[in-house]
Amino acid sequence: MAGPCLVIFFALLLLSSIAEASQCSVKGLPLIRNISELPQDNYGRGGLSHITIAGSVMHGMKEVELWLQTFAPGSATPIHRHSCEEVFVVLKGSGTLYLATNSHEKHPGKPQEFKIYSNSTFHIPVNDAHQVWNTNEHEDLQILVVISRPPVKVFIYEDWFMPHTAAKLKFPYYWDEQCFQVPQKDEL
């Protein structure tokens, strides 16, 4: 009786390792995938659900990454910037974008405030500090995010007047940590 149970145990163990390994496959993406079958996580950030649909670290993408993010009412991204362009498409819900275009100054400064809503899109220029908030009390904010030049290196601010030089670098970012492999150092 232990024989069949042992076989089932090892089969499940093998399947779970294959599933985990396939999440970090850099051999490319299948042509067709079902988003609902992709791994999602909040990475310790309450109110967030993140799915990497196509990523550089997870899937070997070279020029762009694509994410699906859902923010519960009242949740937000940290104030941050990165050296890539970013395009958002709001799929459902509404919220507020805060954008500081003072990347050439000593700190981001007071941000501009923009209302975002279902079927709207917005673009974040390179190195402009920004934050997205779900300010809708009754509905999730769901957005599709495209970034250029992956993988993203994020600089996080405690507030809008924190100097750029004091912003904290986060690399690899939370959703890349599991699959990120440090390049091998040259032995010479």
The token duo for 97 is 């974008």
Closest CA to 169 of 150, 151, 158, 155: 155
Q: Rounded distance, CA 84 to CA 86, Å?
A: 6
Task: State the virtual CA torsion across 77, 91, 122, 133 in degrees, nearest 10.
Answer: -30
β-bridge partners, 170 = 154
104 among annotated binding-site residues: no
Phi, psi (degrees; rounded to nearest 5) at 39: -65, 140
Q: Rounded distance, CA 94 to CA 135, Å?
A: 7
The token duo for 182 is 């440090």
82 among annotated binding-site residues: yes
Residues forming the annotated binding site for Zn(2+)? Answer: 80, 82, 86, 130
Residues forming the annotated binding site? Answer: 80, 82, 86, 130
